[in-house]
Every structure is written in structure tokens, then in C-alpha cells.
Homo-oligomer: A and B are copies of this chain.
Amino acid sequence: MAGMLCPVARVYCRCTDSREGDVAQQARAVATRNAIVEAAAAEFIEHGFAGASIADIAQRAGATKGAMYFHFRSKDLLAQAVIDRQRELNDELQDKFASSDLSALAILVSMVHALGDLMRDDVVALAAMRLAVEVPEGGDDRGPTYDAWAAPTSAVISHAIAQGDVRDTIDPEVLSRFLVAAFTGVQTASFASTRLEDLMDRLHEMWTVLLPGIVAPGREHVIPDILQRA
């Protein structure tokens, strides 16, 4: 039987296939599934997708072979679970900022900062980013990952242009595509150099370089306040 939408984990999984199906058992299955996803994230970070082994992931999660097979039949499904979880975290971040009364430019800079914090604090978020920059195997296409990040960024930039803080000569799609790529590069270089220890300093540097070219003429006075959020 194919996976069903799990009422607890809010993802397609097989925990509700069980005939017993009681709440306690479902909760245990979800806990096991989460532990496996976190273990997979840690192994992907340490060894890359190609270098990670399902056996090592199971051992790290303290899961039996049966439990592994029950939740994830392949390494691809584990990678997908990591990427899905990162998208959820991303959506939560966006929801948080959607209700804020900051200017759109302040939201843009604060969101990048929050994303940097997330990479440093959450093993699954970091693993999703590592998977996005890794060499994809064969026909696997991770391009959509970048598009998924760029679309909401573009909306915030349009808003910042409408508010007069960002130059109206800027194409929101061009800037958002570049910001996603630049963030990817900054965290990749920071990971290689310092295992993300200097990530927040590097992101601050990024905004120091970018803001003078982004902020609309006559609005330069907002830059110091915006940089404090970076």
C-alpha cells in the first residue's frame, strides 16, 4: 500500500498503514521517522549524498532495519524528506515575517539573517542546503529548489520597490535570483572555511556590498538601520 498523509507528521508516510493505528503507536512512528530524518541530515552533511549509507543512518538514528524500510525505502526518499522539512521551516519563517510591521526592505534583510541562523541551528535545514549545492546524480534536477527560494523573495522586493526603499530600475526577479545564488555561495564558502562559524559576519558583509546599489536614491539614510538587521 502506498503512503498516506500522516495526521501527525503532515507528510506522506507509512505510519498510518498500521492496522493497530492507535495514537500512541502513531506518535512513536513519527518520533522514529523524525529521528531517521535528522540522522540522514547529519550523514548527508558529513559524507554528502553519494557518500552517506542507509545502514549508517539507521545506526545513528537507533532505528532497526525494519523501521528504516517501513519509513524510507531509498536514500532518494530520505533526501526528499530533508528537502521537504526545509521547505516547511522556510514557510514558517515567511509566515512569521508576513505579519510583521517592518518595511519590506527590513523584512528582506531580516529573512536572510533568520535563514542564516536556521542553517547554523538546524541540522535538517543545513543538510537541505548542502544537498542543493552537491553534484546531482544523473538526471536528478535540483534547479526547482532554487526557484522555490527565489519566488517569495521576489515578492518582498516588489513590495520594497513600491514602498520607495529599493530602486525602481531593479528587476525583482533578477535581484531575487541573484540573492538566492549569493546566499548559497556565501554559506558554501563559510561552510568550507569555518563550518559556518563566520556565516553571520559574511552575510553582513554581503549586505554592506549590496545595499548601496539596491537602495533608492534619497533613501540612503535607511541603510545603517537596515545593516543592523543583517
Contact = CB atoms under 8 A, between A and B. Distances in A.
Contacts of A180: 185, 189
A2 B53 CA distance: 35
Nearest to A48: B135
Which secondary structure dominates chain A's binding surface? Answer: helix
Interface residues of A, number: 51
Contacts of A49: 48, 50-51
B135 A44 contact: yes
A108 to B, nearest CB: 13
A27 interface: no
Nearest to A213: B213
B177 A184 contact: no
Contact of A170 (B175, B184, B186, B209): B209
B132 A192 contact: yes
A135 B51 CA distance: 10
Interface in A62-99: none
